[in-house]
Structure 1
Amino acid sequence: MSEQKKSGSRFGSLNIKGLKEAPAGGNAVQRHVHGPGCNHEHSHDPDEVDGKTHVHTAACAHGHDHGHAHAHGEPHVHGASCSHGHDHGHDHHGHAHSQRVIRPPAHRPAEGGGSALQLDLEGTLPGETDDQGRFARLEAALESQHGITDVHLRRDAGHAEVCIHYQPSLVSVSKLVTLAQKTGAQVAARYLHHTWFVRGMDSADAAQVIEHAVSKMKGVLTASVAYASERLVIEYDKEELKLPDVEARVKSLGYGLEVPMAGHACSHHAHGGGLAPLLELPLVVISGVLLAAGFVVEHFALAPQLVATVLWALSMASGGFFAIRGSVQSIAQLRIDIETMMVVAALGAAVLGAWFEGAFLLFLFSAGHALEHRAMEKARRSIEALGQLRPEVARVRRGSEVVEVPVADVKRGERIVVRPGDRVPLDGVILEGKSSLDQAAITGESMPVARKPGDEVFSGTINCEAALEVEVTRLSSESVLARVVDMVAQAEAQKGKRQRFAQRLERTVAPLVMASAVVFPVVLVLTGTPMKEAVLRAVGLLVAASPCALAISTPSAVLSAVASAARGGVLIKGGIYLELLSGIRAIAFDKTGTLTVGRPRLLSTWAAPGVTREELLGTAAGVEALSAHPLAKAVVDGAAASRIAVPAGRDLEAIHGQGIRAKVGDDAVEVGSTALFAGEAIPEEVTAEVARLEAAGQTTMVVRRAGRYLGVLGVADTLRGGARQVVQALKEGGIERTVMLSGDNALVARSIAQQVGLDEAKAPLMPADKVTAVKELGRTHPVAMVGDGVNDAPALAAAAVGVAMGGAGSDAALETADVVLMSDDLAKLPFALELSKRATAVMKQNLVIALGVSAVLVVAAVLGLTRISQAVVLHEGSTLLVVFNGLRLLAFRPKTPASPPQPATGPQPAAG
């Protein structure tokens, strides 16, 4: 069963009341109404067993059920044309919805009286992440309505919610929900998002200049520039602002904007664009040469003093070229930033005759920025290298010929040929050929993975053995590789608390320092200090207190950590999740497909006295072969593995919730649960064996032929290879509590939890029960939920961090989870946790370095203990130190190579 089929049926049952997400960009949120014209699969009451959800559809005509589908007493509702028989309780059929699950409304008493309604932010205003911009418009619109007293954003439930305080006597809940959805749709339709790649930024100060200028434009609600990932993101009113106006405004500042190409972390023009990348280092070198020449002229008296002064002035102009340009732009916007402070300090030194100090300041400042820019470019290039793994052309079969076509021009449904040694150019499904593919670029798996017709392949992976013909399923811009690159490149925009703290502090410090630099020399002069010395000490204060290191301290660490994680097969969607992951102390696991392989196997065959194993298994396989169900397939595969002759069955009759009947020859054969034989005398030894196998966690099937009981079969899932070692590694890494949340019966769940080494198992649980369990666990420990990203989507969303398995094969996993393990390898989880801790530690170190060095230099400057040149060296040194400290994370690797999941051997059952 493919991952897509599995995810489709499970996810389909979780769309709350048909609420569908509008795409980012502003389409309305709408309810979907099922009816005669509805063509997609319908989610009825699901059969829930062993953590698996079966969704029946109008076209559903699958096999049968041995009576385990209703472990929770859930009724099964058939569609109008549902013609299937019965179900083993496993999911099949369906399509994957690549949208986030919308959580149901919740209520609580409001603090100031009345009631409060919580609505999922994503469902109310799709694409919104904070309480700025578009949310502020939604808030104002709702608060103007009769009966609503307050609207605000809440995050204490582990996810963003719109909290609406209202008076029940004035407005009903149903009307309130409808009003919120209608208003949210109107806001989403008018106020949109847009993202550009920014060319020409050579420092974090340039990002601030652009951000400030764009945010002042009419119609712009919010503007945010992420220097590390070189992105400008705005929320705007489409009725008041045209996007070309933004591009023109930024161009007037000397920078360029372009819409990012899907799957590219960097500009498709020369990286960085503009003058900065071309002239940065040459101007720094010229500045240094002029600085040294002036020093030699003065020291050895080779020429009049005026010559040395001119050389230093030219050094200042060369070294400060971009800083001066940036400061002029900032002053024009009536704002003070780091570059302005540096230029003012240098000019102040020059006015007082300290030309060398002024030139030395701007030389080191520009040298530091050039090195910082190159270092950040290294981190960006490491992300871009992922996207460059995709070939530029594909070999497309058109008729009897194979022609090379640019990947951007290949359409869905076309057939491409992938030769041995080639990289797969586009995502698709194998039509012909068998081979092994190196998927390290996508999943981080160290060993090639076998692939056959019907299996998915991903762009950027390497075909190792034989030629393949692949049907393209995703366009170049939609491929898993392109989406991973985009998400990693944009991760910096999802800022954590340390990133936000550093930004707020930087914006506050700059104007305060500038004001202090004006007041400080006045105070010194009034207390008897000579004017020149007072001004020079003020210049030293400007240099010492400039928050350069603070501005770059967290972006360098976040970008490097996210890039390192992506190379290791882990997708972390933002700095905020990087920080949250480092604080996790409890982990909840889904069972099926997470701790277990997710494919049932025949584990036990018990033949009644006088019956051979061959007769038992052959008879059962003869009738199970009539069904395409996973459990039926397990029986058939078990017979094939034992090379048992299987007689032909016929006349299949499915008894829903109990089992099947068919004929083998002239004999009637029944295979099913004990419920199939209700009211009949079942031999005591058969019921005893059923009880024993079920106690061991296996799903049982009793086999009877011509009235004679042949025996009992036990089918179960198997543990993932290394699952126990992963749990042990997590505990050694600081995880205090591990819990399994399963839809299976409690007996099976406890058995699996004990085998894996988990602290607790909670079962049986419906998806909503898993959400409750995660919230309860979150009251005592910051909790992460690990699942497949589909049927566990509500629980993933309820946790502080949602971790999805197998994101390479699941659109829903990529969309739903905060952290995605791109392969089905649990061994990636300890790596992700360790990396997050390292990254958080580096962020703390950088903040301490940045603030500590500034504090020491400020004190020294105030007391006159340091010269300007010394302050400049220490200041720029601390900036470079935090950058390179952050870049160390690029080298972080898992302690041990990841291995593909393998079924555990021996008696390690995991039913369903």
Structure 2
Amino acid sequence: MATDTQLDLTTVLPEALDEQDACVQRLTAGLQARAGIMDAHVKQGDAAAQLCLHFEPDVISLQRIRELALSLGARVESDFGHLSLDVDGVSRPARAQLLEQRLRNAPGIAEAHVSPTGSVAVEYFADQTSEQAIVDLLERFGTPPRTARPRPVEGAKTDGPAAAVPEAEKHEKHDHKHEGHADHDHKHGGIFGERSELIFAVLCAVTLAAGFLLGLSEAVPDAVSTALYVAAYFFGGYYTTKEAIQTVMAKRFEIDFLMLVAAAGAAVLGDLAEGALLLALFSIGHALESYAMGRARHAIQALAELAPATAIVRRDGAEQEIPVEELRVGDTVIIKPNTRIPSDGFVIVGTSSVDQAAVTGESIPVDKVPLSGQSSPGAKDIPAESRIYAGTVNGPGALEIEVTKLSKDSTLARVVRMVSEAQAQTSPTQQFTDRFQRVFVPAVLMLVVILLFAGLVIDEPFSATLYRALSVLVAASPCALAISTPSAVLSGLARAARGGLLIKGGGPLENLGTLRAIAFDKTGTLTEGKPEMTDVAPANGVKEFELLSVALAVESQSDHPLAAAIVTAARARLDGKPPLKAGAVTSITGRGVSALIDGDEIHIGKQLLFSEIDGAPLPAEITGTTARLEAAGRTTMVVRRGTRYLGVLGLMDTPRSSAEPVVARLRQAGIRHMIMLSGDNQTVADAVAGKLGLDEARGDLLPEDKVKAVIDLRTREHKVAMVGDGVNDAPAMANATVGIAMGAAGSDVAMETADVALMGDDLERLPFAVNLSRKSSRIIRQNLWASLGIVAILIPATITGAVGIGLAVVIHEGSTLLVVANALRLLVYREPKNNP
């Protein structure tokens, strides 16, 4: 069902709020390109612009829409708060759907998503309710939070009633291994703790078996067997009845209700043993489903528990051991050899190798050295060889690190939080099965009612008619269908997280597994992203010194990667000679830069720039030099001072050594069309693409051109992934079916804006992501066809009387366990070894 809502919006250019403005059009077009968003438009209100949305909350969440809007250049000031936490009492799809419905019907809640593992994500109106009110609501629903406190989410609004919760309470020890702890388990689930349902199922089976065996002896009164069967009904039907009452009160007819009707019907027919068998097998099956969902949940919790509980910190000249929650930004933490690292930061003393597999997926330990040159860098300025992540394992050397993030904001903590939230997002197949069940269950009830009148057509006693109808009721219950997709999706997300991949929900997981086309950004994705100036070609009559002096003066005031390469090389070649001074430096987007030196107008940029501006045209000498360098794969920059062309600079960004084999592995995985998008000229783009084995290269692209290229490819191939750094490529990634960001562990923006994040700056994780998603998609399809096929066979078999209640429930529960076991294979998935 679609939902309408609106967000307060201020674009990057506050004056550009008209619907026809290019910035606004990019925002709305980018949002409407996403699955689940039917319409997005901006309207100007009295105080601020409003982003009006019409979307499907089961497909995309408000939190994800907010992230996409930010990545597309909007600044969102919303009245929505966001709460993410894990709860007890939810371990199956039916319970998750029930809790989701009850939350969505609660006042003040705009949107709610609940996964079968108990992950809850709630969007609420901050002026109508609060985090604490939602926690109280969950307590009343019998699904209390598994964590001691709600997990605060970055960007969540806390004014209004939400502010009533003391800040210290919101943040107190919320990341310190609370989830799933044994000392918390006994509080929930029943008199036997969280295993109560399993114990009741076993007691049901034991009393059933005892009643049946004692009934074989003539020395034992029938009343004893009857009493044992009644006890089996109690143990087997207790949790089923409890859940069925809740679902019926919510105006839903779930599988539990169908099973209870069948068991009650067997009792009416006087066949207590068969009804008790049905409840025993059903309750055991449910308990095993809960166990399977627990496996997927614990795979995520295992990540959260990687970070140690305490840290050794140096304060006031003394070393002390403190809880990680008490670490402050700027603290110096001492890391002993062969121990886990408690926080994100950078190395200030010592050298060692660090196993980062838990966060980035890198299989080989990474050498770490102290950061030099600046004492308090920004997070994005820390080089990889000095950056440290919480939860990783130090090698043989002792280290001292400076803390850059609180424990709740560490890369590991955010990965765990995002994966937990991703579990609550439904996949396309799951949306289909949910819609199918909403139609199928009432249809089954109607069929059963019709079968009750079979005696009007055929000559048989009503007891036989009722027995057949109840058998159909059991056979048609879509237990396996309900569990087939979520079990596979959750297992796939958990396996991805362990492999250094952050996949934000079942939608991206399935889409990545079915797409056939990928678009790559060139710089920093297929190449190292560290260009070097390799060629200096002065024009006739121009000295190299003049060419480099002008280039250095202008480019030293630019933050473009190519400018940095020119500055580094020019300073080395000029060897400390006095630099010129440039003023009025202006960037020309996608083309180059202009400036003034001693009154002369300076232009440095691509060859195309000089055909678009006034002034002397390019001489043949310059165009010839440019063509020669570009044919060798160089990116060229032409330098003009006034009307004089000083020469050409050639730069080269080396392709990653892994890029060519990665392209080959992607082809082996089934990706049939791969293109490269680049701001470099077409000749350079073609040279790089040809070397790497790509199908197509598009050069001379501005950011908006990359968006058009992605849309064009998506139109031709139906689905397309865009791989970039998650910052400059955000608009293109937003318009792709799946946006994939590289190096997300070092970039907060990349982690939040992408659908799939490769945590390490390692292109080789991309084939793993595609292959895992392909495997997940295959298992989802296998489970779907298996569950539907068994129901399709069982229904006619029970109608004709070939299968009775006992055999129907055995096959029914067997199929459920079959699809769950098939899905759990994803938890131990390994990459194919035969890839080149």
TM range (shorter): 0.7 to 0.9
Pairing 1:440–2:357 present: yes
Match of 1:575 in 2: 506
State the shift of 1:26 in Å.
9.6
Match of 2:23 in 1: 104
Aligned counterpart in structure 2 of residue 722 of structure 1, from 647, 655, 658:
658
State the shift of 1:687 in Å.
8.9
The superposition leaves residues 325-368 of structure 1 with CA deviations (integer Å, 9 ceiling, x where unpaired) of 21233344443211121122112112211111111111111111
Match of 2:689 in 1: 753
Superposition map of 1:44-443 within 5 A: 104-106=23-25, 118=28, 121=31, 153=54, 188-189=78-79, 192-228=81-117, 230-237=118-125, 246-257=134-145, 260-261=150-151, 266-267=179-180, 270=184, 273-275=188-190, 277-443=194-360
Structure 1 counterpart SS, 2:578: strand
Match of 2:758 in 1: 821
Structure 2 counterpart SS, 1:460: coil
User: Partner letter of residue 666 of structure 2?
Assistant: L
Structure 1 counterpart SS, 2:651: strand
User: Partner letter of residue 29 of structure 1?
Assistant: L
Contact conserved, 2:313 with 2:322, CA < 8 A, in 1?
yes
Match of 1:458 in 2: 389
TM-score normalised by L of structure 1: 0.72
Question: Which whole-Å CA distance do the structure 1 matches of 2:60 and 2:681 have between them?
Answer: 29
Structure 1 counterpart SS, 2:519: strand
Contact conserved, 1:775 with 1:798, CA < 8 A, in 2?
yes
More displaced stretch, 513-522 vs 264-273 = 264-273
Are the structure 2 counterparts of residues 443 and 241 from structure 1 closer, same or farther at C-alpha, using a change threshold of 3 Å? Answer: closer
Superposition map of 1:398-547 within 5 A: 398-452=315-369, 453=371, 454-455=382-383, 456-524=387-455, 527-547=458-478
Question: Which whole-Å CA distance do the structure 1 matches of 2:539 and 2:111 have between them?
Answer: 74
User: Partner letter of residue 576 of structure 1?
Assistant: G
Structure 2 counterpart SS, 1:320: helix
Pairing 1:864–2:801 present: yes
Are the structure 2 counterparts of residues 871 and 779 from structure 1 closer, same or farther at C-alpha, using a change threshold of 3 Å? Answer: same
Question: Which whole-Å CA distance do the structure 1 matches of 2:753 and 2:150 have between them?
Answer: 23
Superposition map of 1:594-605 within 5 A: 594-601=525-532, 603=534
Question: Which whole-Å CA distance do the structure 1 matches of 2:53 and 2:568 have between them?
Answer: 57
Aligned counterpart in structure 2 of residue 772 of structure 1, from 701, 708, 721:
708
Question: Which whole-Å CA distance do the structure 2 matches of 1:195 and 1:428 have between them?
Answer: 26
Question: Which whole-Å CA distance do the structure 1 matches of 2:671 and 2:286 have between them?
Answer: 40
Are the structure 2 counterparts of residues 579 and 861 from structure 1 closer, same or farther at C-alpha, using a change threshold of 3 Å? Answer: same
Pairing 1:649–2:538 present: no
Structure 1 counterpart SS, 2:195: helix
Question: Which whole-Å CA distance do the structure 2 matches of 1:128 and 1:733 have between them?
Answer: 24
The superposition leaves residues 340-398 of structure 1 with CA deviations (integer Å, 9 ceiling, x where unpaired) of 21122112112211111111111111111111111111111111111111111222221
Question: Which whole-Å CA distance do the structure 1 matches of 2:43 and 2:35 have between them?
Answer: 16
Structure 2 counterpart SS, 1:719: coil
Question: Which whole-Å CA distance do the structure 2 matches of 1:469 and 1:897 have between them?
Answer: 41
Q: With CA pairs under 8 Å and 6+ residues apart, which has the higher RCO, 1 or 2?
A: 1
Question: Which whole-Å CA distance do the structure 2 matches of 1:731 and 1:33 have between them?
Answer: 42
Contact conserved, 1:554 with 1:843, CA < 8 A, in 2?
yes
Question: Which whole-Å CA distance do the structure 1 matches of 2:744 and 2:12 have between them?
Answer: 27
Structure 1 counterpart SS, 2:502: strand
Match of 2:789 in 1: 852
Aligned counterpart in structure 1 of residue 488 of structure 2, from 554, 557, 570:
557
Are the structure 2 counterparts of residues 830 and 298 from structure 1 closer, same or farther at C-alpha, using a change threshold of 3 Å? Answer: same
Match of 1:804 in 2: 741
The superposition leaves residues 792-844 of structure 1 with CA deviations (integer Å, 9 ceiling, x where unpaired) of 11000111111111111111111111111111221211211111111111111
TM-score normalised by L of structure 2: 0.78
Are the structure 2 counterparts of residues 672 and 208 from structure 1 closer, same or farther at C-alpha, using a change threshold of 3 Å? Answer: closer
Structure 1 counterpart SS, 2:704: helix
Contact conserved, 1:105 with 1:118, CA < 8 A, in 2?
yes
Match of 1:54 in 2: none
Contact conserved, 1:120 with 1:160, CA < 8 A, in 2?
no
Question: Which whole-Å CA distance do the structure 1 matches of 2:465 and 2:424 have between them?
Answer: 42
Structure 2 counterpart SS, 1:391: coil
Question: Which whole-Å CA distance do the structure 1 matches of 2:605 and 2:6 have between them?
Answer: 51
Are the structure 2 counterparts of residues 255 and 153 from structure 1 closer, same or farther at C-alpha, using a change threshold of 3 Å? Answer: closer
Structure 2 counterpart SS, 1:785: strand
State the shift of 1:688 in Å.
6.5
Pairing 1:30–2:7 present: no
User: Partner letter of residue 668 of structure 2?
Assistant: E
Contact conserved, 2:121 with 2:421, CA < 8 A, in 1?
no
Contact conserved, 1:201 with 1:227, CA < 8 A, in 2?
yes
Match of 2:167 in 1: none
Contact conserved, 1:433 with 1:467, CA < 8 A, in 2?
yes
The superposition leaves residues 84-103 of structure 1 with CA deviations (integer Å, 9 ceiling, x where unpaired) of xxxxxxxxxxxxxxxxxx98
Residue correspondences, number:
742
Segments of structure 1 that go 5 or more residues without pairing to the other structure are: 1-24, 36-101, 108-116, 146-150, 162-176, 610-614, 663-669, 704-708, 900-912
Contact conserved, 2:636 with 2:650, CA < 8 A, in 1?
yes
Contact conserved, 1:624 with 1:633, CA < 8 A, in 2?
no
More displaced stretch, 652-661 vs 550-559 = 652-661
Structure 2 counterpart SS, 1:199: coil
Aligned counterpart in structure 1 of residue 671 of structure 2, from 714, 728, 735:
735
Aligned counterpart in structure 2 of residue 884 of structure 1, from 821, 824, 827:
821
Pairing 1:693–2:629 present: yes
User: Partner letter of residue 727 of structure 2?
Assistant: V
Match of 1:97 in 2: none
Question: Which whole-Å CA distance do the structure 1 matches of 2:538 and 2:761 have between them?
Answer: 36
Match of 1:79 in 2: none
State the shift of 1:780 in Å.
0.7
User: Partner letter of residue 404 of structure 2?
Assistant: T
User: Partner letter of residue 10 of structure 2?
Assistant: Q
Question: Which whole-Å CA distance do the structure 1 matches of 2:424 and 2:398 have between them?
Answer: 41
User: Partner letter of residue 482 of structure 1?
Assistant: A
Question: Which whole-Å CA distance do the structure 2 matches of 1:104 and 1:651 have between them?
Answer: 39
Contact conserved, 2:549 with 2:580, CA < 8 A, in 1?
no
User: Partner letter of residue 143 of structure 2?
Assistant: Y
More displaced stretch, 739-748 vs 595-604 = 595-604
Contact conserved, 2:353 with 2:394, CA < 8 A, in 1?
yes
Question: Which whole-Å CA distance do the structure 2 matches of 1:381 and 1:401 have between them?
Answer: 38
In angstroms, what is the RMSD of aligned CA positions?
4.6
State the shift of 1:538 in Å.
1.6
Question: Which whole-Å CA distance do the structure 2 matches of 1:446 and 1:247 have between them?
Answer: 40
Contact conserved, 2:331 with 2:403, CA < 8 A, in 1?
yes
State the shift of 1:486 in Å.
1.3
Contact conserved, 2:116 with 2:293, CA < 8 A, in 1?
no
Structure 2 counterpart SS, 1:256: coil
State the shift of 1:763 in Å.
1.1
Are the structure 2 counterparts of residues 720 and 897 from structure 1 closer, same or farther at C-alpha, using a change threshold of 3 Å? Answer: farther
Are the structure 2 counterparts of residues 687 and 654 from structure 1 closer, same or farther at C-alpha, using a change threshold of 3 Å? Answer: farther
Question: Which whole-Å CA distance do the structure 2 matches of 1:692 and 1:143 have between them?
Answer: 53
Question: Which whole-Å CA distance do the structure 1 matches of 2:196 and 2:366 have between them?
Answer: 47
Q: Percent of counterpart pairs with the same letter?
A: 41
Are the structure 2 counterparts of residues 633 and 326 from structure 1 closer, same or farther at C-alpha, using a change threshold of 3 Å? Answer: closer
Superposition map of 1:641-680 within 5 A: 647-654=575-582
